[in-house]
Amino acid sequence: MTTVPLKNAWRPAAALALALLVAAAIFYPAFGPGRVLFTTDDNIGAIASAKRLLSGCLPALWNDSGFVGMPSGLATPNWTSLLAYVVSAATFVNCVHALDLVAASVLLALFLLRKANTAGACVGMLAAFWLGSNLTLVYAGHVAKYGVLLFAALTVLLIDRATARKPSVAGLVLAGAALGLMFLEQQDLALFFGMFLGGYTVLRLWRAEGASWPARLAALIAMGIVALAIAGPTLLGSYFTNVKGVAAMNEERPEAKWEFCTQWSVPPDETIDLLAPGYTGWRSGDPEGPYWGRTGQSAGWERTRQGFMNFRLESIYLGAIPLVFALFAVCAALFKRAPASGLPNATTPGGSRPGSERRAEVLFWGATALVALLLAYGKYFPLYALFYQLPLVNNIRNPNKFLQVFQLAVGILAAYGLDEALRTRAAQGNSAGVRNS
């Protein structure tokens, strides 16, 4: 069993303390007397209605609180719904986003501390979860997305631990369970994350040592079986209630279906928002900085003036610091002849990770960030048109959900980049000291 040396125990504690401090600074206004966090889709009324639905403890219920005589559908027993069930509606609305973000931050930090120094891990978790769309979607509510972020971070950590040396079937089974729980939160976003998490698992198994290829394949299959066992019934139900409905709605007009599914695509020219805060406005309806871009614009709006001119409720701003460090990590992996080895960590106490493994992981997450961003462009870039041809994908809405995957990859790369920069500076300082002596 791998243990963390006592002298390094302060590192995850520091990450937890930082995440709690940031959460308190952002969310504390909601906890004043008589206050509740304002969200649009998952407001306190919607949560109170969902609690009444869950209290029936049946797979399919009749709920006439909002629309008399309309079936409310399935109540999925996932982390988010169970939390909503055990606390009051106001407590849930005030706490769920902060709780999920703190938990996701700590889990990602535990993963990054195996790869980078403490400063890098802290910067990485902040970039992944406390900036951009992953933070500002709190205004829209979208609590299920935050459950996906939590389980995505947990899955990454478990995959890394299960493949640190010889692949562990038990470890990958746990990773498969986390993956399945992620799909219970929100199926479409979980699918987007799952594509890249599956790729990361293959990379780790490919580079693992001490196991035959049949054993590696068996471990991968075991992970997939567990994930499907947990998420399969929910995915099947979601397909029949949502996917087939969307397909039937536009089955005679492929162009209309394409426009419907890709309405919320990120225009490439608005990528500048990643660096320039509020360049295209903060969000739709904001009196001080109304969004004036094209995300969410209805097809033909410029000609007919029908539908949405635009609609965006979050900011995608990440800032120069994480993006520069992420780019630095990729450049170091591509062009540095002898990548510096990793720092001592829980995986190899007192040792280091081989430079080739570090390069492979940086390039993987760099490719993930690039592909996720290009897919987020949706109808504005040809790659999504190819992706759209895959089974089931052509019934999923809103390519801009890939921004959540992009942001996680940027956070991981930023951790690598800061770690590389600090170690390179330290190496240069040591070289200068040797020359002076």
- What digits encode the pLDDT tens for the residues 50-100? 777 666 544 444 445 544 444 444 456 789 988 988 888 889 999 999 999
Contact criterion met (CB below 8 Å) for 58 and 4: no
Find the mean pLDDT for residues 412-425.
94
Give the rounded percent of residues in the chain with a pLDDT score beyond 70.
83
Sequence-distant (≥ 6) Cβ neighbours of residue 88 within 8 angstroms:
none
**pLDDT of 3 over the 90 cut:** no
Give the rounded percent of residues in the chain with a pLDDT score beyond 90.
58
**pLDDT of 2 over the 80 cut:** no
What 3-state class would DSSP assign to 283? strand
Q: Using pLDDT thresholds of 50, 70 and 90, give the confidence band for residue 33.
A: confident
Q: Per mean pLDDT, which of 247-251, 353-357, 384-388 is the most reliable?
A: 384-388
Return the C-alpha torsion angle 93, 99, 102, 104, nearest 10. -100
Q: How many CB atoms lie within 10 A of CB 41?
A: 13
pLDDT for the residue numbered 429 = 67
Find the mean pLDDT for residues 193-210.
92
Considering only residues 245 and 81, tell me which one the structure prediction assigns the higher pLDDT: 81
Helix axes 89-112, 10-27, angle to 10 degrees: 150
pLDDT for the residue numbered 113 = 96
Question: Per residue in 358-380, pLDDT tens?
Answer: 999 999 999 999 999 999 999 99
pLDDT for the residue numbered 195 = 95
d(CA 281, CA 273): 9
Q: Of 326-340, 358-372, 401-415, where does mean pLDDT reach its minimum?
A: 326-340
pLDDT for the residue numbered 414 = 98
Task: Enter the DSSP assignment of 381.
Answer: S
Considering only residues 436 and 261, tell me which one the structure prediction assigns the higher pLDDT: 261
pLDDT for the residue numbered 150 = 97
Amino acid identity of residue 184, one-letter, is L
**pLDDT of 294 over the 90 cut:** yes
d(CA 308, CA 81): 31
d(CA 100, CA 121): 18
Tell me the average pLDDT of the chain.
85
d(CA 405, CA 200): 13
- For the record, the structure tokens of 200 come out as 């990361």
Contact criterion met (CB below 8 Å) for 175 and 223: yes
Considering only residues 124 and 246, tell me which one the structure prediction assigns the higher pLDDT: 124
pLDDT for the residue numbered 357 = 87
Contact criterion met (CB below 8 Å) for 215 and 167: yes
CA-to-CA separations, 283 to 292, 293, 298, in angstroms, rounded? 9, 10, 17
pLDDT for the residue numbered 352 = 38
Amino acid identity of residue 431, one-letter, is S
pLDDT for the residue numbered 67 = 45
Q: Per mean pLDDT, which of 64-68, 70-74, 349-353, 407-411 is the most reliable?
A: 407-411
Find the mean pLDDT for residues 233-240.
67
pLDDT for the residue numbered 341 = 45
Question: Per residue in 216-225, pLDDT tens?
Answer: 999 999 999 9
Q: Of 31-40, 134-143, 335-344, where does mean pLDDT reach its minimum?
A: 335-344
